[in-house]
């Protein structure tokens, strides 16, 4: 292992500062919904959680991003894609409480957000990444963002990363921030980040937002290659509810301050960087799944012995996405039939007569299916295993050497409560 997790977040790498404030975006959006008011109605006095974050570097950075594959996208994505055509960025502005998606003026509002940040920082507005998350189909109120940016420009700091992590939360119950270090060419390199996501998560990149910074010297082309590779086995293996967001954005900025030889090709330094990035993304993936709306348990599905990696991924994701599996885990019901069913309709080529299934947690491990057939097992022991807050579903096949891991959560009554009145 060539990396080490450290304390910190998006400001841990050299050159980056950040912060988050309560601008009143959430309050203004909620008030507009309640009153069926126009977008230009006066926003209420902010009195709630932070809902506007700003991340900045003191120099232009190599940058890259990947986005949701949902055909319905927030206009923030189109603006960011345009801004990143040259592979350069210097700041990120992101609000929560309003997704700025499916609005006739969404693109103009996203551009306005970028300009507000650029003017405050004294940089080119095309060097600003912009993102939003929250209620879809509701006009984005700009006045609280304008006042929020004014406040943010004076409080950006190395200690403000955790406030930025809080500001991008919607139904999240915990902040997601992380930092990891590795060594490239004798130079210590730091990668840090923040993420949000609790519901509308079936990442296909891919609501989740994640913003990553690093002081590594690496080209924008290699950053994108690393993002795609790391996300494929981490973020894209997460599902909370099967709904792919309109706003999913995973962006990375590299300041180059670490002083390593710039990575411009897939060499040993690239492999080391990718290893650290992937490890961090997998840790975040577990956090996202564990904090699923209403969730009480993190589910980790490990598939081994598949025909190939693609088949293993398909099977693991099918199991994690199954509402019946998720409900069974909530009820601590060791029903292997639901696992087998999810494997059977996954579309992967599987010899169903060679499937073994076991459950594992801090309370122990129990085999419930062998060679595609259910076994007699100790129900009381199985229940104790499934009552833990982190459960592994172990699927062993006899088809090859493909393996994969997927991350999800149980399906609870609270998920329906949260989403039954999400807008209000």
| Residue in 80, 93, 193, 111 with CA at minimum distance from that of residue 153 | 93
DSSP 243: -
Query: In DSSP terms, which residues pair with 239 in a beta bridge?
Result: 202
Which position among 17, 29, 171, 207 bears the catalytic label? 207
| Nearby residues of 233 by Cβ (< 8 Å), 6 or more positions away | 278, 281, 282, 404, 405
Residue 111 zone, left/alpha/beta (φ > 0; ψ -120 to 50; rest): alpha
Number of residues in the chain = 424
Helix, strand, coil % (nearest 5) of the chain?
35, 30, 35
Token digits for 41? 């109605």
Distances (CA, A) of 193 to 6, 178, 214, 380: 12, 6, 9, 42
What's the CA gap between 312 and 291, in Å, rounded? 24
What's the CA gap between 112 and 79, in Å, rounded? 10
User: What is the number of other CB atoms lying within 10 angstroms of the CB of residue 261?
Assistant: 13
Annotated active-site residue 207? The verdict is yes
Catalytic residues, by residue number, are: 207
């Amino acid at each position: 292992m060539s990396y080490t997790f450290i304390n910190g977040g998006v400001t841990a790498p050299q050159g980056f500062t950040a912060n988050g404030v309560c601008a009143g975006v959430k309050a203004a959006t909620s008030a507009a919904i309640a009153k069926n008011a126009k977008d230009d109605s006066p926003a209420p006095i902010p009195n709630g959680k932070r809902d506007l974050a700003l991340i900045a570097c003191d120099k232009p950075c190599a940058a890259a991003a990947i986005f949701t594959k949902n055909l319905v996208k927030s206009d923030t994505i189109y603006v960011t894609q345009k801004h990143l055509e040259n592979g350069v960025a210097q700041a990120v502005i992101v609000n929560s409480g309003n997704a700025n998606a499916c609005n006739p003026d969404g693109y103009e509002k996203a551009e306005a957000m970028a300009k507000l940040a650029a003017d405050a920082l004294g940089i080119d507005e095309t060097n600003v990444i912009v993102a939003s998350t929250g209620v879809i189909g509701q006009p984005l109120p700009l006045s609280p963002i304008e006042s929020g940016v004014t406040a943010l420009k004076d409080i950006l700091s190395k200690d403000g990363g955790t406030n930025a992590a809080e500001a991008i939360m919607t139904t999240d119950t915990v902040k997601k921030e992380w930092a990891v270090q590795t060594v490239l060419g004798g130079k210590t390199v730091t990668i840090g980040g923040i993420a949000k996501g609790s519901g509308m998560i079936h990442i296909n990149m891919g609501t989740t937002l994640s913003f990553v910074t690093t002081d590594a010297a690496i080209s924008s082309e290699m950053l994108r290659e690393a993002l795609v590779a790391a996300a494929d086995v981490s973020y894209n293996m997460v599902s909370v509810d099967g709904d792919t967001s309109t706003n999913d954005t995973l962006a990375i900025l590299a300041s180059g301050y670490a002083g390593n030889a710039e990575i411009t090709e897939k060499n040993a330094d690239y492999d080391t960087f990718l290893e650290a990035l992937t490890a961090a993304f997998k840790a975040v993936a577990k956090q996202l799944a564990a904090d699923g709306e209403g969730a009480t348990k993190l589910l980790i599905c490990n598939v081994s012995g598949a025909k190939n990696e693609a088949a293993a991924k398909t099977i693991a994701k099918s199991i994690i996405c199954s509402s019946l599996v998720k409900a069974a885990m909530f009820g601590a019901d060791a029903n292997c039939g639901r696992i087998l069913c999810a494997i059977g309709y996954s579309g992967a080529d599987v010899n169903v007569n060679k499937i073994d299934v076991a459950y594992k947690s801090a309370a122990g491990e129990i085999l419930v299916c062998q060679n595609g057939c259910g076994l007699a097992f100790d129900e009381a022991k199985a229940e104790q295993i499934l009552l833990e807050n982190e459960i592994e579903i172990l699927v062993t096949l006899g088809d090859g050497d493909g393996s994969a891991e997927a991350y999800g959560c149980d399906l609870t009554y609270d998920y329906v409560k949260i989403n039954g009145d999400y807008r209000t």
